[in-house]
Amino acid sequence: MWHRVFARCNRTKHWRRNTAVDISKDFAQHMQAQDIRTTQLPNGLTLVMERMPDVRSAAFSMLIPAGNIYDPPGQEGCAAVLSDLITRGAGDRNSQQLAFDLDNLGLQRSESASGSHLGLSGATIADRLPDVLRIYADIVLRPQLPADQFDAARAGIAQSLHSIEDEPRQKAMQELRRRSYPSPWGLPSDGNLEGLSQLTADTVRTHYENCFRPSETILGIAGNFDVQAIQKIVEECFGEWPDKPAPTVEVSDWAPNVSHIAHESTQTHIGVAYESVPYRDEGYYNAWAAVNILGGGMSSRLFTEVREKRGLCYSVYASLSALRDQGRVFCYAGSTNERAQETLDVMLAELQRLPEGIKEGELERCKAGAKSSLIMQQESSSSRASAVARDWYHLGRVTTLDEVHQKVDALTVPSILKYVDEHPADNFTVLTLGPESLEVNLGVS
């Protein structure tokens, strides 16, 4: 999430070109000028393109404002079923023909529902991109949503829900997320079995008709292609898509909470969450650094204290979750039942002792990891397509990797401590899953 940044973009139909400027120190030699162009069609669809002259692939990421927050209450799972059904026939291709034609283009693709979006993405050889986009215009604007495949699509989501029941680690983190955000924001994207059972093919079609609209849709494309030709194709394919008003979403109240899910198992799964800031917040990079120092890798505090020094668990981490308007830190540890209480105690103690001080070395490692990630990301068209689309969603503009680099470089121990002081780790939401519930002991180390 963190590795996305800020370059000025326009919301008009005219191009503005963002190129890299003034990057600091020895790192500058590694960063390439990025050629990022943004345009908005008259119907509101935003097209963000990054041209990558050194690759031969092209990738796209299309975010459509039809995620599971728009699921009708009592029929949760609607967006998830739609994300399956939407590729089962479009335009004049039936389900099988559509799969065949996309596979013939060598497209590696995926469809998914998240809270805010239904996401369609794919990657292939760059010169296949025009054909891919034309087929996706059918998928987005003219899906068949065949009623006779509704049961199969729903069964797939139902079985995915069943399988989560068998995977307590995922189950624990899904339940932690549900309890950490006001509903419907934290709800599982696949919904629930009760909601699915109430769903009909008509509900799914209505979800499509209510939610699919150009004005909050973002199409990110990255790779080696002719930007003007691709813009023209996007305009031809998506320009006539009529806009409509956004559906409303009712958001519940929320407060931190502690809960336990009884589960017979050899292990206890521990999830801890607390409030952080969203990506667009000016404190975001300090928040990111704090979480990284806590639980971002093998020299992080949680890894060192919980796993390496005490051997309490096989897996432990902390990560930052960001919706557009709110953020959370999610921490996980899996432990034997016998050592679960000690694991939770040590985790909470580590979270709370961060304001006591951060070493320069911790910050340096954090920066080194960030810079290395930037280099990797700039080499992947899929990463970039996804990053430019999500950037636009979160910030209403697209950022360059140079700017991320500058933000990372500007981090200091005092800036992080100031952030941590203003946003302390407290008001924990705790979810445990295992045979026995645990005590939330604050102030223990």
| Stretch touching its own copies by CB under 8 A, among 213-221, 317-325, 357-365, 387-395 | 357-365
Residues 70-129 that bind its own copies (CB under 8 A): 88, 95-96, 99-100, 102-109, 123-128
Residues 426-445 that bind its own copies (CB under 8 A): none
Helix (H/G/I), strand (E/B), else coil: 226: coil
Residues 204-233 that bind its own copies (CB under 8 A): none
Helix (H/G/I), strand (E/B), else coil: 131: helix
Phi, psi torsion values for 342, nearest 5 degrees: -65, -40
* Of 176, 192, 114, residue with least CA distance to 334: 176
- Contact call for residues 112 and 134 (beta carbons, < 8 A): no
Joined together, the tokens standing for residue 331 give: 């921490």
Binding mask 38-77 for its own copies (x = CB under 8 A): ----------------xxxx--------------------
Instruction: Work out how close the CB of 3 gets to its own copies at its nearest, in angstroms, rounded to a whole number.
Output: 13
Instruction: Work out how close the CB of 374 gets to its own copies at its nearest, in angstroms, rounded to a whole number.
Output: 9
Position among 18, 380, 406, 429 found at the interface with its own copies (CB under 8 A): 380
Position among 349, 375, 417, 440 found at the interface with its own copies (CB under 8 A): 375
How far is the CA of 440 from the CAs of 231, 257, 347, 348, 405, in angstroms?
Answer: 55, 11, 11, 8, 38
By C-beta, is 126 or 135 nearer to its own copies? 126
How many angstroms separate the CA atoms of 376 and 34, rounded? 14
By C-beta, is 8 or 162 nearer to its own copies? 162
Angle at 92 between CA 86 and CA 98, to 5 degrees: 50
Please name the residues in contact with 208: beta carbons below 8 A apart, sequence gap of 6 or more.
Answer: 66, 82, 86, 143, 145
By C-beta, is 372 or 427 nearer to its own copies? 372
Torsion (CA) 166, 433, 333, 176 in degrees, nearest 10: 90
Cα-trace Rg, the chain: 23
Phi, psi torsion values for 66, nearest 5 degrees: -140, 35
How many angstroms separate the CA atoms of 99 and 27, rounded? 43
Q: Is 365 in the site for its own copies (CB under 8 A)?
A: yes
Position among 144, 189, 378, 429 found at the interface with its own copies (CB under 8 A): 378
By C-beta, is 165 or 209 nearer to its own copies? 165
Residues 381-420 that bind its own copies (CB under 8 A): 381
Residues 270-299 that bind its own copies (CB under 8 A): 297-299
Give the pairing type, strands 46-51 and 57-64: unpaired
By C-beta, is 122 or 327 nearer to its own copies? 122
Please name the residues in contact with 1: beta carbons below 8 A apart, sequence gap of 6 or more.
Answer: 279, 320, 321, 322, 390
Instruction: Work out how close the CB of 166 gets to its own copies at its nearest, in angstroms, rounded to a whole number.
Output: 5
By C-beta, is 54 or 253 nearer to its own copies? 54
Instruction: Work out how close the CB of 110 gets to its own copies at its nearest, in angstroms, rounded to a whole number.
Output: 10
Residues 127-186 that bind its own copies (CB under 8 A): 127-128, 149, 151-153, 155-160, 162-163, 165-169
Position among 202, 325, 379, 436 found at the interface with its own copies (CB under 8 A): 379
Q: Is 201 in the site for its own copies (CB under 8 A)?
A: no
